[in-house]
């Protein structure tokens, strides 16, 4: 029983690999569906969630707080799937949300640039130069997004347990490798790792619920106890605590909430 995240670029065959791994293992396979569920659950147009997860932060300019809100919605939906275990997620952000969870197998699938260019040319009917420009812009946006939001470069191999190069290795080779790795003891859920991901999922649900109250709020959770930290002027502390408590107490899994407000002079 494991969680498998597959980070992929365009034309890397990551989607196909993810679907075949899920089919072979009998796991749930998720990607865009998470956006649809978040869109429905939080009443946000799907197009905004798509932009939040794929575009660099500069896209939003002064609306960066809205971006943070949208990402919190997506994170909550992804983690709800992850806590059920036996899931394959393919997309840009999956492995960011489960740092420190031992039973997550993090995979990066890459492909030769020339192979990607050829596929882009065939699909769009454009020149090699145009295809290179499109792919370069797409890759740059992905890197900007991850660096701004998490301070990391998605291309760094040390973020992953496996980096698979689709060239000499085929899609079926990649599926074989990933399925074998997923069966190793170190990627099996333990009571401790399950409690950890349950805590992440609960914290994400609370963050998504209270993000409109304070976008920069920090939330963690352990065994049903939720810890909330944020900054606010002293004059607003009592009303802020009351709002957070009122919203959080109705969230499934919350046993107790502890709020720490750091005094700030900024409204």
Lowest-pLDDT choice from 93-97, 132-136, 159-163: 93-97
Q: Phi/psi of residue 239, each to 5°? A: -70, -35
Helix (H, G, I), strand (E, B) or coil at 211: coil
pLDDT class of 266 with cuts at 50, 70, 90: low
pLDDT digits (tens, 9 = 90+) for 138-189: 888 778 777 776 677 888 889 899 999 998 999 999 999 999 999 999 999 9
Q: What is the pLDDT of residue 201?
A: 95
Residues ≥6 apart with Cβ < 8 Å to 111: 9, 11, 12, 13, 165, 166, 167
- Whether residue 136 is predicted with pLDDT greater than 50 in this model: the reply is yes
Instruction: State the burial class of residue 126 (Cβ atoms within 10 Å of its Cβ: 0-12, 13-18, 19+).
Output: middle
Q: Which of 109, 72, 113, 86 is nearest to 24 (CA)?
A: 86
Average pLDDT (11-27) is 93
Fold of 3-187: Rossmann fold (3.40.50)
Arithmetic mean of pLDDT over the chain: 86
Q: What is the pLDDT of residue 267?
A: 55
Q: What is the pLDDT of residue 145?
A: 74
Task: Spell out the domain ranges in the chain.
Answer: 3-187, 213-263
Q: Which of 142, 135, 108, 107 is nearest to 119 (CA)?
A: 135
Helix (H, G, I), strand (E, B) or coil at 111: strand
Q: What percent of the chain has pLDDT over 90?
A: 50
First to last CA, the chain: 47
Q: Whole-prediction pTM value?
A: 0.84
Q: What is the pLDDT of residue 12?
A: 86
Distance of alpha carbon 154 from the chain centroid = 12
- Whether residue 232 is predicted with pLDDT greater than 90 in this model: the reply is no
Architecture of the 213-263 domain:
2-Layer Sandwich (3.30)
pLDDT class of 86 with cuts at 50, 70, 90: very high
């Amino acid at each position: 029983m494991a969680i498998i995240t597959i980070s992929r670029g365009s034309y890397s065959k990551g989607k196909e690999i993810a679907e075949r791994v899920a089919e072979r293992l009998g796991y749930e396979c998720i990607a865009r569906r998470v956006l649809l569920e978040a869109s429905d659950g939080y009443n946000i147009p799907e197009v905004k969630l798509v932009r939040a997860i794929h575009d660099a932060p500069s896209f939003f300019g002064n609306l960066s707080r809205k971006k943070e809100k949208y990402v919190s919605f997506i994170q909550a939906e992804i983690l709800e799937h992850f806590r059920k275990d036996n899931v394959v997620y393919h997309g840009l952000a999956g492995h960011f949300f489960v740092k420190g969870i031992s039973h997550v197998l993090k995979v990066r699938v890459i492909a030769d640039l020339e192979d990607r260019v050829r596929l882009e040319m065939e699909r769009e009917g454009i020149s090699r130069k145009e295809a290179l420009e499109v792919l370069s812009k797409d890759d740059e946006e992905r890197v900007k997004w991850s660096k701004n939001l998490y301070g990391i470069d998605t291309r760094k191999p040390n973020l992953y347990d496996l980096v698979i190069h689709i060239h000499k290795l085929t899609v079926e080779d990649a599926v074989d490798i990933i399925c074998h790795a997923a069966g190793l003891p170190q990627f099996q859920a333990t009571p401790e790792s399950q409690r950890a991901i349950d805590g992440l999922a609960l914290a994400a649900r609370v963050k998504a619920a209270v993000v409109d109250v304070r976008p920069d709020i920090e939330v963690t959770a352990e065994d049903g106890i939720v810890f909330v930290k944020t900054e606010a002027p002293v004059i607003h502390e009592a009303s802020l605590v009351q709002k957070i408590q009122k919203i959080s107490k109705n969230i499934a899994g919350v046993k107790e909430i502890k709020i720490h407000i750091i005094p700030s002079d900024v409204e």
